[in-house]
């Protein structure tokens, strides 16, 4: 698959599915051995780019820039929500006013905005394996910032401080 141009993550996804299928086949006594029971990174190089979390300084620069910029300031609240909650962009886009409980400081995530070529945009219950990258913001003093970078930053801080 690597020779055909598939990336590590795509190959890993196929391997994971086949591994699970063979585990079921073993449990059902259809086969005796699982040929996909190995560590992929021992067979091919993991060429995925490591996700980078923002430093506290970069986070402050981003929020300061967005807060002051006349074009981006309308996105300030959304960026803060992504940064401080770890929501996926699709989950943020699916939020309604009823989902935000300011009194109890809770955001209820029970649907997300998705897109299909056949039907266009629609709202559905969240699925953890669905993500979509949206327009990226980039400034010389900051790395490329995607909604997932904000999610990764949130998760990194959560692990660090707990």
For the segment 31-52, what is each residue's pLDDT rounded down to a tens digit? 999 999 999 888 888 888 777 8
120 strand-pairing partners: 116
Is 160 within 8 Å of 86 (Cβ atoms)?
no
Instruction: Kindly state the tokens that stand for 19.
Output: 């591994």
Rounded Cα distance between 78 and 59, Å, is: 14
For the segment 41-80, what is each residue's pLDDT rounded down to a tens digit? 888 888 887 778 888 898 899 999 999 999 989 999 999 9
| ∠ Cα 67 70 105 (to 5°) | 35
What integer is the mean pLDDT of 125-135? 39
Residue 81, SS3 per DSSP? helix
For the segment 9-21, what is each residue's pLDDT rounded down to a tens digit? 889 999 999 999 9
**Torsion angle of alpha carbons 85, 63, 130, 132, nearest 10°?**
170
What pLDDT does residue 143 have?
63
**Torsion angle of alpha carbons 48, 2, 40, 131, nearest 10°?**
40
C-alpha dist (Å) from residue 127 to 110, 114, 138: 10, 10, 28
What pLDDT does residue 133 have?
28
């Amino acid at each position: 698959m690597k020779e055909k141009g598939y990336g590590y993550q795509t190959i890993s996804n196929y391997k994971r599915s086949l591994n699970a299928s063979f585990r079921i086949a073993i449990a059902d006594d259809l086969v005796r051995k699982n040929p996909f029971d190995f560590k992929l990174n021992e067979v091919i190089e993991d060429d995925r780019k490591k996700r980078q979390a923002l430093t506290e300084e970069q986070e402050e620069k981003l929020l300061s820039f967005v807060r002051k910029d006349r074009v981006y300031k309308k996105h300030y609240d959304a960026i803060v929500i992504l940064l401080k909650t770890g929501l996926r962009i699709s989950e943020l886009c699916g939020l309604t006013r009823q989902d935000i409980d300011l009194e109890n400081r809770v955001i209820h995530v029970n649907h997300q905005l998705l897109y299909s070529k056949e039907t266009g945009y629609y709202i559905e219950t969240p699925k953890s394996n669905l993500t979509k990258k949206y327009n990226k913001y980039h400034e010389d003093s900051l790395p490329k910032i995607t909604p997932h970078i904000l999610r990764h930053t949130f998760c990194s801080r959560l692990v660090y401080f707990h």
